[in-house]
Each structure stands twice: as structure tokens, then as C-alpha cells.
Amino acid sequence: MADAQLSPRNIPDRLEGRGARLMKSWEALLIVVATLIFLGNSLASPYFLDPWNLSDATFNFTEKAMIAFAMALVIISGEIDLSVASIIALASTAMGYAVQLGADTPALVAIGLGVGLLCGAVNGLLITGLGLPSIVVTIGTMSLFRGLSFIILGDQAFTGYPESFAWFGQGYVWWVFSFEFTLFVLLAVVYGVLLHKTNFGRVVYAIGNNQTAALFSGVRVARVKFTLFLLTGLMAGLASICLTSRLGSTRPSIALGWELEVVTMVVLGGVNILGGSGTIPGVVLAALIMGMVTFGFGLLNVPGIVMSIFIGLLLISVIALPILWRRARRRLAH
């Protein structure tokens, strides 16, 4: 009889509570925004719903989203990495230089990932080893890595990549599903599990909420943060492979300004810029939203500078709105 009384009451209440939390979450708002943008683009251009056009739209965000997954963990831990776009440039330059020496596709992939890891290790050592602020270090390495690309290339470009290398940025796994989009989905699952289902993810949240408490609880904070910067470097190297492959050439200005878009994608996804909270599903939704907005602007022939203005306003808005909302609630409470 006790089971009969508990079963019908407790389970629906629990489900209702979970459903109510989901409806009030930032991710629910992002789903609504994504739906509205999708409908708006559909009405604004008759070409938007074409499957191949939608497939092309994914190239607007997949490479940035690869970095955003790792960046989300870094920001949740209370740090930031503003050098990711410059890592892309340096990794691409290294691959382009290797092509001139006759390197094949496997060697280019290894070089791209290796340079990304090396740059991530440099950031990690300076931040965790010397205790320097991550924003200062990565602004410095942002200029350093990009500067090295300009010194090597000047106003020239590296071309002549092997045909097989082009598949990473231009190839399709099945029908309209490109390799880049497939990789984006796989990385979303991997990072989702890593952050939300493992001890490592719980440690990242703990560090972001209270680094001192995490340290006294036995967490190896320096090691965890070093690993996070290695991950951002690795993802920047991977993005460099895809972007270089898609463009078929390397210039020192490649991926210029991407660090702003990656951070915007992460913050729009609900990750607290001060650390301690955020989700991978939110970042996925933010990536889709930014991709659709960019593609929609392209279909309407909106100049690129307008998109830059939009990204800047969006970053300011998603940081400012929660703060203004909390202040408004406090005033109403009093």
C-alpha cells in the first residue's frame, strides 16, 4: 500500500520539477531564439531551406565551435584563452611551410595538431607555472604567435596542399553531412560527457566556483588548468587543419578576429564569463544560432562589417543582461 501511495505522487512531481527547471533554463531560451532565427531566414530567402545551402551554413560555425567546446571548460574554470585564433595562424603557417618541403597529408595533420599542442603548453606553463593571469598571458601570446606567422610569410601565401588534404575541410561523410559537421557533432558528445559525466568535469566546476576550496580539497588545480590549455591548443590546431584545408591556402591573417567570436559563442551558450557554470548543450545551441545568423546575413548580402558589429553587441549584451536582471530582481525584492 505504501508503494502504491509513493509511486503515483513522487515520480510525477520529480518529473514536473525537472521539466520546470528545463523550461526556465538558458538552453530553453536559446532553443526559442534558434527556432525564430530559422523561421526568419526561411521567410527572408527562398534558398535557405535547400539542403545543400544548409550544409554550407555549417561551415560558418563548425571550426569555431571546435575551439568553443574547449574554451567553455577554460572559462568555467575561471580562466580565458585569447590566443586561439593566433594558434590557428601559426599552425597553418607551419603546415604551409611543410608543404613547400614536400610533406604529405598525414605529416600535415601531425604538424597542425602538434603546433596547437605546443602553443597550448606554452600558455599553460606561463599561467600555471609562473602564476601569471591568463588574460595577460594569452593577449601576449596572441601577438607572439600571429607575429611569427607574419615574419615567416610577410605578404605572401602558402599554397599547393595535397588533394587528399582538402577532404578535411571540403569532404562529405554522407549526403549533405560534411566531415567538419560530423566532427562537430562527435566533439559535442565527447565534451558533453567529459564536462557533465566525469570527475574531471566536476573538478573543473569546483575550481571555477572556488579555486582555494578546491585546492584544499586535494584537487591538483595547476595540473587541471594546464590540461585545459592543452585542450584549447589542440582544438585550435584541429580547427587550423579544417580551415586551411577548406581555403586551400595559408596567409598570416587567417582566422583574424576569431577569438572574439569563439568567446561570444561560449558566453552566448550560457557559460558564466567569471567561471563556475555553463553547459556544452548551451554552447552547441549558441554555435547553431551564430551560424544561422551569419548565413542569413550572407544570403541577404549584408556586409561583413555589420556582422562584426553584431558580434560585438551580442557579446556585450549576453554579459550585461544577466547582471542587469539580477539587479532588477534585488530592487523588486526590496
Task: Locate the domains of the chain by residue range.
Answer: 27-325
Supply the pLDDT for residue 7: 42
Percent of the chain at pLDDT > 90 equals: 67
Q: What does 195-241 look like in DSSP terms, one character per residue?
A: HHSSHHHHHHHHHHH-HHHHHHTT--HHHHHHHHHHHHHHHHHHHHH
Query: Which stretch of DSSP H or E encloses residue 174?
Result: strand 172-174
Helices (H), the chain: 2-23, 26-44, 51-57, 62-76, 84-100, 105-124, 134-153, 167-170, 179-196, 199-209, 211-216, 221-247, 258-268, 280-299, 304-333
Q: Which CATH number is associated with domain 27-325?
A: 1.10.3470
Digit-coded pLDDT (tens) for 223-232: 999 999 999 9
Digit-coded pLDDT (tens) for 42-58: 888 788 888 998 888 89
Digit-coded pLDDT (tens) for 244-274: 999 999 999 999 989 999 999 999 999 999 9
pLDDT band at 5 (very low <50, low <70, confident <90, very high): very low
Supply the pLDDT for residue 22: 62
* Pair 270, 30: CB distance under 8 Å: yes
Rounded CA-CA distance 192/160 in Å is 37
pTM exceeds 0.85, yes or no: yes
Q: Measuring CA to CA, how many Å separate 98 from each of 85, 109, 111, 154?
A: 20, 11, 8, 17
Rounded CA-CA distance 28/230 in Å is 31
* Pair 271, 76: CB distance under 8 Å: yes
* Pair 180, 63: CB distance under 8 Å: yes
